[in-house]
Structure formats: C-alpha cells, structure tokens
Structure 1
Amino acid sequence: MTKRSPLSDPQLYVVVFIGGAIGTCVRYLLGLAIPATAGGFHFGTLSANLLACFVYAGLSAYLAQADWIRPRKRELVNRGAGMGVCGGLSTMSTLALEGFTGILGGQAGQALLYLLVSVVLGLLVAFAGVRCADRLATGHRAERTAAAGNPGDSGSDSSDSSNPVSSAEQEARQ
C-alpha cells in the first residue's frame, strides 16, 4: 500500500490554518496581557514560547503512544493542535528580534540572558511535557487494559516508570 503525501491532503491544510490562527491570537493576547519589563525580558513572548514547548512536546509524546486513537485522528490532532496552534503560539522570529533589539539598544547582557533563559526553559518545559504525556498515556493504557479484563499488560511497555527514558525520547533518538 502506497502512503499518500501529506502535501496532497487539503484537510491537513485546513486544520493547520485554523490551529495557526488560534495560536497566533493567543500569542497576541499574551503579549498584551503580559508586557515586557524595562530590563529587556519579554514575558509575553517567553510565556507563549514555553507554553507551546510544553504542549507540543506533550502532545507529540502522547499521540506517539496512543495506539487506541485512529491514525487519521492522531494525524489531524497532531497537525492542527501541534503544528497549527503551537506553531502559531510560539515565535522564534519575535524572540530573535527582541534579542537583537536589546543588543542594539545597549542591553547586550540582558538580551543574551533573555535568549539563554528562553532556550533553557524551553527545553526543560518540553521535557516536562513529555514526562506528563508519558504518565497520561500509561494511565490511559492501564485503564483500557483493565476495562478489557486484562489486569496485566503482557506486551512491552516502553513507558514503564522504571525506565528513565520515555518512549518519545527513544523515538527522538532513532
């Protein structure tokens, strides 16, 4: 069976477009609600980027394990909520512009600190999102197994809590 190209799927364009519009509106509203400080920290942009990192990493990790959700539905949710909403919410270009403007404005130390904090916190919250998603997926899998009358899952479970590497992290390494 040949796999169809996502570029020829108009439904994917629609969910990404709608998700992107939603994410962009949320980012704009966060920018209005959380103004930048005089010290060069743009907390609206930082909040939007961190939220997007957490949600997208968590969503991707959860959907990668959610074999109980139909593949087409997983694809649409991943593209619409992940790529669309989180992509519209996060903004590398604004982060770069704010850092560059700070450097040109004579606040190089503060601007570089802002950029460093943004990247480090982004990685940390993405990791937290993956860990939360792993716990949710493991719980969901256990509920489904118990409901099916199988108290133990005899299959290999890569999200086992004794394994320090999550299944999403394992996939990222491959």
Structure 2
Amino acid sequence: MPEPNRRHPLSPHIDLPVLLLVCAGGAVGTGLRYALSALPAYSWYFQTGTFAANMLACLAFGLLSAYMARAGWIDQRRRELVSRTLGMGVCGGLSTMSTLTIEVFTTARDLHLWSALAYLLATFACGIGLAWLGGGLGRRLARLREGTR
C-alpha cells in the first residue's frame, strides 16, 4: 500500500507532521527558556537565565543526538520525528544565540569588553563541554539499551 502524502501542497520539501511537531517542540523549548529567564542574574553582565537555557540545550542536544545515532532498534521515521521534535523543536526553542548576542554587545557597548568576552567564552566553553558530556551519556544510555535487548 502506498504511503499517504504528508507533504505540504505548496512545498514538496515540507513534511506537515514534522512541521507541526517542530512547532510544538519549539513552543515547549521557548516556554522553558522564558521560565529560566526568571533566574536572578549573577551580575549585571552575566545573565544566569540565558546561560542556563543555552547549557541545558547543549547537554540535551548532545545526549539526544548520540542516543538517536545508535538507536538502530527505532525505525527511521520515528527517529526523525523524535529528533525533529526534541532536537530542532525543544532544544532549538530553548537555546538562544540572539539573546546571548544582545547581552554580549550591550555589555561591550557599556565599555565592559573583558566582562563581555568572559561571558561569551564561558558560554561557548561550557556549551561545548556539556554537549560532549551529553554525547557520552547518550552513547552510554544506548549501549545500556542494547544490552537489555
């Protein structure tokens, strides 16, 4: 039996169920980011909420990517739906380069260049470290799942 057409009539490259899941995931991620924005700032230049949102997104995306890359027991379509919903949607909505950029430029504009650079470097260094940690956790979880199979 042929697979039903899930493509958008105006663009054959848009898969409607995936589009809806990305939007739903993005709404969840953006809501989480907004909730984290209520965290008190560490100082006038280090915005704890933005930092926490970006770090959580890095950790979660690293974990998800590594896990799904090894999840051969999950069919390809389901992996696509989970990856798009949680990765592109939730993690994409949670992370925020635009807010980070505004915070860094505002700090630098106020002639606090070293503080702006420290915040930027801390964000990237910690983000890369947490993505690496998440990748390791994702691989370990996938291996545990394979062992119970």
Is the shorter-chain TM-score for this pair beyond 0.5, marking a shared fold? Answer: yes
Show the 5 A alignment for 1:1-174.
Answer: 7-32=13-38, 34-144=39-149
Give structure 1 stretches of 5+ with no counterpart. 145-174
Q: Provide the rounded CA distance (Å) in 1 between the counterparts of 2:26 and 2:44.
A: 30
Give the share of equivalent positions with the same residue, in percent: 46
Structure with greater strand share of residues: 2
CA displacement 1:6-29 (0-9 Å, x = unmatched)? 833101100000000110010011
- Moved segments of 4+, more than 2 Å: 4-8
The gaps in structure 2 that reach 5 residues or longer are 1-5
Deviations 1:101-131 (A, max 9, x none): 0001122111110000000000000000000
Q: How many residues align?
A: 140
Query: Distance in 2 between the 1:108 and 1:90 partners?
Result: 23
Offset of 1:90 from its aligned partner?
Answer: 0.1
Q: Which has the higher contact order (CA 8 A, sep 6+)?
A: 2
Give the whole-Å Cα distance in 2 for the aligned partners of 1:108 and 1:142: 51
Q: Which amino acid is 1:75 matched to?
A: E
Equivalent AA in structure 2 for residue 58 of structure 1 = L
| Match of residue 3 from structure 2 | none
Root-mean-square deviation (CA, aligned residues, Å) is 1.5
Instruction: Decide whether the 8 Å contact of 1:39 with 1:110 is kept in 2.
Output: no
Amino acid at match of 1:108: L
Greater Cα radius of gyration, structure 1 or 2: 1
Q: Aligned equivalents of 1:37 and 1:101: distance in 2?
A: 16
